[in-house]
Amino acid sequence: MTSRDEVLKSIRARRVPAMALPALQHDWVRYADAFAQFKSVVEAAGARCDRVATPRDIAPLLATFGEFQAATRTVSQVAGVAGTVALDDVDDPHDLETIDWAIMPGEFGVAENGAIWVTDERVKQRAIYFIVQHLALVLPANQIVHTMHAAYERIQPGKSSLGLFIAGPSKTADIEQLLVIGAHGPRSLTVIAVGPTV
């Protein structure tokens, strides 16, 4: 008998009372202004959140940030923002170590917790989300769902080998519970919402 057989046999030998899987239909909380809620939580998590009218306004906005101005190597997969390194040309993710900024698209945001859903679809090296010094995520301002329940109604899990919620810059509170922004992942997160909020 393999270990698999033994483990499954051990489980099946137990008498466990039946319990129905509960329905998740409920009047989950809704915010009067989903984008405003989203923005306030994003900022509370230590990220920037700006809204611009059109995609053409993204590059000028980035140009106003000191750290972006100082950046020498950047990756962009957002139309209208030019990067200095094409991610599709990078065969070894270790080479991304010197990338200062990455500007990546997000699909939608979640109002209750400021999270943004991104995937590695069309992203050759997923390490780009974690290895860069500064990350910017660009998403449509009217694509904000209220809760995680709504988020999972939108996500097609398994569609890509990696899908994740990003809800701020990397951080740690492991030293005396004092918050330090910028742990191992990006030191900062900039959220740029494009277009109208409804």
Interacting residues with other proteins between 106 and 135 (CB under 8 A): 110, 112-115, 120, 124-127, 129-131
Name the 3-class secondary structure at 195. coil
Site for other proteins in 152-171 (CB under 8 A): 152-153, 155, 157-158, 160-171
Contact between 198 and other proteins per CB under 8 A: no
CA distance 134 to 69: 12
Name the 3-class secondary structure at 48. strand
Residue selected from 33, 88, 97, 121 as contacting other proteins according to rule CB under 8 A: 97
Contact between 66 and other proteins per CB under 8 A: no
Residue selected from 151, 191, 192, 193 as contacting other proteins according to rule CB under 8 A: 151
Residue 130 beta carbon to other proteins: minimum distance, rounded to whole angstroms: 4
Contact between 2 and other proteins per CB under 8 A: yes
Residue 176 beta carbon to other proteins: minimum distance, rounded to whole angstroms: 5
Say if residues 92 and 103 touch (Cβ distance below 8 Å): no
Q: Which is nearer to other proteins, 105 or 186 (CB)?
A: 186
Structure tokens that stand for 39 in this block: 């923005």
CA distance 153 to 123: 23
CB neighbours of 77 closer than 8 A, spacing ≥ 6? 83, 87, 103, 104, 105, 122, 123
Site for other proteins in 8-47 (CB under 8 A): 8, 10-22, 24, 26, 28-29, 41, 45
Say if residues 132 and 101 touch (Cβ distance below 8 Å): yes
Q: Which is nearer to other proteins, 63 or 153 (CB)?
A: 153
Say if residues 108 and 154 touch (Cβ distance below 8 Å): yes
Q: How many residues bind other proteins (CB under 8 A)?
A: 75
Q: Which is nearer to other proteins, 34 or 131 (CB)?
A: 131
Cβ neighbourhood burial of 178 (10 Å; 0-12, 13-18, 19+): exposed
Residue 191 beta carbon to other proteins: minimum distance, rounded to whole angstroms: 13
Q: Which stretch binds other proteins (CB under 8 A): 48-56, 67-75, 98-106, 183-191?
A: 183-191
Run of H or E residues at 80: none
